Amino acid sequence: MLKLCANLSMLYTEVPFLERFKQAAADGFRGVEYLFPYAYPASEILQRLQDQQLQQVLFNLPAGNWDEGDRGIACDPKRVSEFRAGVERALEYATVLNCQQCNALAGIAPAGLRSTALRKTFVDNLHYAADLMQQSGVKLLIEAINTRDIPGFYLNKSEQAISILDEVGSDNLFYQYDIYHMQVMEGDLANTIQKYLDRIGHMQLADNPGRHEPGSGEINYHFLFQHLQQIGYQGWIGCEYRPLTTTAAGIGWLQDYAQI
């Protein structure tokens, strides 16, 4: 049985953030993820999780100034101190929320810097974060994101992600495989997931084009979900899609495509 969690940054956006936990539980989800928790006290989020008997599955490390266009800072040599302070802040929240994994967004590659400098910074930062988070029992993830939605994003293909995992060499660093992003960038979803299954710590989904719910586009989710069960994927899958109309109108795909 697949474990699907609601991405509260994409779903239920018609209600305030702290009310989305109740909506997710009502729709049958048993876990939640979202971009960032830092705008709210951890204790307030914990209360919502406990009230709805939800598991906190994932959130991102602080990623710079999101509203000003930052999409992560982990590859930026000028922001190493900021990144490392963010790791400590994320761990504070993860500890309170009993969240067992966090995602480090590489970010958009700063202009004018050599690729060797970007990679060294990213690898060094991941070394630091993976080691520190391992002491608290929290897994570190990295995610490849398509360069159509986020032009210039540094980490954008599976092979690149795996090579970075290999270079870091930590047993506390995993690949967050986003089905939508990788359909845009490389396709061959089933084979790639099976090839890197033991390196994948978390998955996310949306259909393509449009990043809407499964069944709205070209990805054969009936086949893909069956494939994930057959190859023994055990992790969570975050439902990180933009509802085609409303969350309520499109939530029926859960019964059509998978069992939570």
Residues taking part in catalysis? 143, 240
Task: Say how many C-beta atoms besides its own lie within 10 A of residue 194's C-beta.
Answer: 15
Contacts of 49 (CB under 8 A, 6+ apart): 21, 32, 55, 56, 97
> Do the Cβ atoms of 122 and 79 come closer than 8 Å?
no
Tokens 């054969």 belong to which residue? 220
Task: Say how many C-beta atoms besides its own lie within 10 A of residue 163's C-beta.
Answer: 12
Q: What is the dihedral of CA 56, 62, 68, 69, to 10 degrees?
A: -80
User: How many angstroms separate the CA atoms of 77 and 121, rounded?
Assistant: 6
Q: Would you state the structure tokens that stand for residue 20, as one six-digit string?
A: 């989305």
